Structure 1
Amino acid sequence: MNKILSQDEIEAQGGNLIDEIIRMSDFSFERLPMLDVIGERLADSISVSLPDLTGVICEASLSQLDYVPMAQATDALPSPAMLAVCSSPSLDGEILLAMDATLLLTAMELMLGGAPRDEAPRQPERFTAIERGFGRRLATLIMTELQNDFGLVGDIELELERVETDPDSAAVTQPANLCVRLHFAVGLAGRTGALEVILPYDALEPVRGKLGKIHFGTPSDDGSPWREQLCGQIERATVELEAVLAGVQLSIQDIMKWKTGDVVNLWVEEDHDATVVCADTPMFRAAIGKRNNGNTAIRITEELEPEEEANHGRNDH
């Protein structure tokens, strides 16, 4: 339902908008479109790497990217927040990673083997030494993924300098200096936490030229930068295998004559190898046997190429 604003409220909102336009006009800067690309890639990277640490599916997304003064970014930080300050010899300053209590405590419970309930975790006034230790571990993982994603514009090595809980102690630039703020929503075990990456505009000076234009880098010696992530996803996938003992061709007329107790001759010996099939593609030959517990099992004896199996089938006929 739309709310009807009074004249005073309309004038107040208009005044705030004008003040914001005037304030931003004091900054001389150009937008850096490659940060949008890096932000999206970081969300994808977190979604892939965080499950290795927590053991559950993670869904991360870049929900906001804006250019704000450091003071405004600091005032908007969640309270309490785990603040990780990172540095790089390739940058002209430090960058800040901020995690709210929901993200940190949920990840910590999962890393300890717990199963968080749907309700929100407690909101402590400050973090314990143990929680700070887990926060450093989580920040290190996120920092590593950010370093890899920055590879689109250059070789930037990040190092975790310190972990803070006081925003004033974690300030990475002067309050009036412009920063790029990336806000991520991170879903874990039914909870959604917040992650913010704050990049001082001046710190990006060495790579600002590359960040100012859209490009996706050049192919590296090891191939596509997505190869490792794709391989990781493939390794987590599951497939269905079938062990086929034999295949016979029968007419529908013969099949319709079958009755209970009829015997179908497969024309194979007892030691005949089975063919292991995945998605209608022959993969292996395998010997059939029994384990000590009486269960039937197969032992891979030969790896098949699709062409080899097709030729073998034609030779049989």
Structure 2
Amino acid sequence: MSDQISPEELSSRNSELLDEIIRMSDFSFERLPMLDIIGERLADSLALALPNMTGTLCEAELTQLDYLPMSQINDALSDPVLLAVCSSHQLYGPILLVLDSPLVLTALELMLGGTPRGATPHNTEGFTAIERGFGKRLAGLIAQELQRNMALVGDIELDLDRIETDPDAASVTQPANLCVRMQIALAQAGHSGALEVILPYDALEPLRPKLGRIHFGGPGEDASPWREQLASQIERATVELEAVLTDIRLPIQDIMGWAPGDTVNLWIEEDHEATVLCAETAMFRAALGKRNNGNTAIRITETLTPEEETSHGCNDH
């Protein structure tokens, strides 16, 4: 059975909507399309950067971007939150990063080597000095990624000034002033947190011409902010290598007749070089030898390409 709305409730809702329309009409502003692009790229870059700090995979998504007065943003803040005030000489005022309690506590536990279990951690008594310290490291990383993505519209240098927990102490503009709020959902180790980036509209004045243009895309040096992060992840990856001494073909009937103690002729000389394979692809040729501790080792003598390995051929004996 659907809920019935009384005439009084309907009138109240209509009044609230009308008040909201009147309030927003007091602001004279244009939307800044490039901020949508920057917000989406910030979410993508955080999904790549946070695992370097926390050691676990991260999912990030820009869930909303809206234009609101600072007072309404403050009223919507959960309690407690960690507030990071960032400044830039290229902007006409500071900006604000808002990290909710689950995001900070999950990141802290992961950075300390723990594995969050159970429900999403939530702090109701404020942050300790240690939690604020780890939260500052997290906010610093977010500020770096925001600076990297803001480079799409200008050369911006962001500095993390201070960490606060009181919205009044972290005020970056007057309560009635318009701000752009980016809301990004972050998930790590099965726990979800929220990040808000608060950009006072007046602070963006130096960048407003570029932020107001319509982005059609196109290649460029900064068009792929994830490239550097991806390259660093690839360099840290591990692979398995195989050192193959030789490759011979034998009749199945001979193999079926083998017994312990039999000797198999490999048809190679003592100085025969091994082939080093990665994912079944020949990478190097290597000479066999021994280290001082008696362990067998190989010394790379030649770098191979697939064409070179084919031309060398295999021993068909």
For residues 271-290 of structure 1, the aligned pairs below 5 Å read 271-288=271-288
Output the amino acid matched with 2:252: I
1:21 shift after superposition? 2.5
Q: What is the TM-score of this pair, normalised by structure 1?
A: 0.86
CA distance in structure 2 between the aligned counterparts of 1:180 and 1:269, rounded to whole angstroms: 73
Q: Which secondary structure does the structure 1 equivalent of 2:23 belong to?
A: helix
Q: Tell me the residue number matched to 2:135.
A: 135
- Does the C-alpha gap of structure 1 residues 150 and 223 become closer, same or farther in structure 2, counting only changes over 3 Å? closer
Q: Kindly indicate whether the alpha-carbon contact (under 8 Å) linking 1:40 and 1:62 is maintained by their aligned counterparts in 2.
A: yes
1:316 shift after superposition? 10
Q: Kindly indicate whether the alpha-carbon contact (under 8 Å) linking 1:34 and 1:215 is maintained by their aligned counterparts in 2.
A: no
Unaligned runs of 5+ in 2: none
Residues 1:203 and 2:172 aligned together: no
Q: Tell me the residue number matched to 2:62.
A: 62
Q: Kindly indicate whether the alpha-carbon contact (under 8 Å) linking 1:50 and 1:58 is maintained by their aligned counterparts in 2.
A: yes
What is the Cα-based RMSD across aligned positions, in Å?
Answer: 2.9
- Does the C-alpha gap of structure 1 residues 102 and 224 become closer, same or farther in structure 2, counting only changes over 3 Å? closer
Q: Tell me the residue number matched to 1:76.
A: 76
1:124 shift after superposition? 3.5
Question: Which 10-residue stretch deviates more, 147-156 or 22-31?
Answer: 22-31
Q: Tell me the residue number matched to 1:100.
A: 100
CA distance in structure 1 between the aligned counterparts of 2:207 and 2:219, rounded to whole angstroms: 16
Q: Which secondary structure does the structure 1 equivalent of 2:32 belong to?
A: coil
1:292 shift after superposition? 8.0
Question: Which 10-residue stretch deviates more, 56-65 or 295-304?
Answer: 295-304
For residues 213-228 of structure 1, the aligned pairs below 5 Å read 213=213, 214=215, 219-220=220-221, 225-228=225-228
1:122 shift after superposition? 4.3
1:117 shift after superposition? 1.8
- Does the C-alpha gap of structure 1 residues 209 and 69 become closer, same or farther in structure 2, counting only changes over 3 Å? same
1:197 shift after superposition? 0.5
- Does the C-alpha gap of structure 1 residues 210 and 78 become closer, same or farther in structure 2, counting only changes over 3 Å? same
CA distance in structure 2 between the aligned counterparts of 1:98 and 1:91, rounded to whole angstroms: 19
CA distance in structure 2 between the aligned counterparts of 1:104 and 1:89, rounded to whole angstroms: 28
Q: Tell me the residue number matched to 2:161.
A: 161
Q: Kindly indicate whether the alpha-carbon contact (under 8 Å) linking 2:246 and 2:315 is maintained by their aligned counterparts in 1.
A: no
Residues 1:151 and 2:148 aligned together: no
Q: Kindly indicate whether the alpha-carbon contact (under 8 Å) linking 1:42 and 1:145 is maintained by their aligned counterparts in 2.
A: yes
1:102-146 alpha-carbon deviations (Å, 9 max, x no partner): 111221222223332232324142222222222221111110110
For residues 33-44 of structure 1, the aligned pairs below 5 Å read 33-44=33-44
Output the amino acid matched with 1:219: G
1:53-90 alpha-carbon deviations (Å, 9 max, x no partner): 22222222211111111111111112101101111111
Q: What is the TM-score of this pair, normalised by structure 2?
A: 0.86
Q: Kindly indicate whether the alpha-carbon contact (under 8 Å) linking 1:118 and 1:191 is maintained by their aligned counterparts in 2.
A: no
Q: Tell me the residue number matched to 1:172.
A: 172
- Does the C-alpha gap of structure 1 residues 30 and 6 become closer, same or farther in structure 2, counting only changes over 3 Å? same
Q: Tell me the residue number matched to 2:123.
A: 123
- Does the C-alpha gap of structure 1 residues 109 and 314 become closer, same or farther in structure 2, counting only changes over 3 Å? closer
CA distance in structure 1 between the aligned counterparts of 2:2 and 2:299, rounded to whole angstroms: 71
CA distance in structure 1 between the aligned counterparts of 2:151 and 2:71, rounded to whole angstroms: 29
1:270 shift after superposition? 4.0
4+ runs deviating over 6 angstroms: 290-295, 314-317
- Does the C-alpha gap of structure 1 residues 281 and 261 become closer, same or farther in structure 2, counting only changes over 3 Å? same
Q: Which secondary structure does the structure 1 equivalent of 2:151 belong to?
A: helix
Question: Which 10-residue stretch deviates more, 62-71 or 10-19?
Answer: 10-19
Q: Tell me the residue number matched to 1:86.
A: 86
Give the number of equivalent residue pairs. Answer: 312
1:249-301 alpha-carbon deviations (Å, 9 max, x no partner): 56xxx437741418765422344222122234211112345678887654433
Question: Which 10-residue stretch deviates more, 9-18 or 54-63?
Answer: 9-18
Residues 1:4 and 2:11 aligned together: no
1:23-81 alpha-carbon deviations (Å, 9 max, x no partner): 22222222111111111111122122212222222222211111111111111112101
Output the amino acid matched with 1:310: T
Q: Kindly indicate whether the alpha-carbon contact (under 8 Å) linking 2:247 and 2:316 is maintained by their aligned counterparts in 1.
A: no
CA distance in structure 2 between the aligned counterparts of 1:67 and 1:207, rounded to whole angstroms: 17
Q: Which secondary structure does the structure 2 equivalent of 1:133 belong to?
A: helix
